[in-house]
Amino acid sequence: MTDTKNLTQLGSNVEAPQNPEAAVLETVPFSRGDGPPAIVRFTCPEFTSLCPVTGQPDFAHIVIDYAPDTLLVESKSLKLFMTSFRNHGAFHEECTVMIGRRIIAATKPLWLRIGGYWYPRGGIPIDVFWQTGAPPQGAWLPDTGVAPYRGRG
C-alpha cells in the first residue's frame, strides 16, 4: 500500500494557490521494479496564464511526460499548481519551463519532457518544448497527440 500520510491536499478542501511560487507539489513513493522505466503522462488541455505585458489570458495545451525514479507527482497537487498560473504573468516559454523544473525539483525523475502548445497571440501560435536529456532506453514514448496549429486551414 502506498504511504500517503504526508499528503496535505488529497482528500482535503484546499483553495487554489494564488501563484505558482505558493503552490506545493506533493509526491508519493514509487517502486520502479525491473525492466524499462514507466512513462507517466499528464495532459492539461485548458492551461491558462496571463500575458506579463497586457494582463490578458493566454491559453495552452500542456503535455508532460516523465519517467519517475522513486517519487510520483500527486495529481491533485499538480492540478492546484497548474491552476495557480491563472494569476501569473509570464511569457509562454517561462511558464512551460517553470512547470518542468518544478516537477523535477519535487520528484527527481529519471527523465522529463514538456510540450506547451500555446494558442495564437497576435496571430502567431508559440509551441515550447523542453526536456532533461535523451529519453530512457527501452521506454515506450508515444506521440503527444497534439496536432500542430492549423487555424481555419
Which residues, other chains included, contact 141 with Cβ-Cβ below 8 Å and sequence gap of 6+?
39, 65, 135
Could you tell me where the beta strands, DSSP code E, fall in the chain? 27-29, 40-50, 57-67, 71-73, 111-121, 124-131
Q: Which of 3, 34, 44, 58 is catalytic?
A: 58
**Rounded Cα–Cα distance for residues 72 and 23 (Å):** 17
Binding annotation for substrate: 73-75, 92-93
Phi, psi of 143 (to 5 degrees): -60, 150
29 beta partners: 71
Is 95 in the active site? no
Is 58 in the active site? yes
Q: Which of 51, 69, 95, 143 is catalytic?
A: 51
Binding annotation: 73-75, 92-93
- Could you list the active site residues? 51, 58
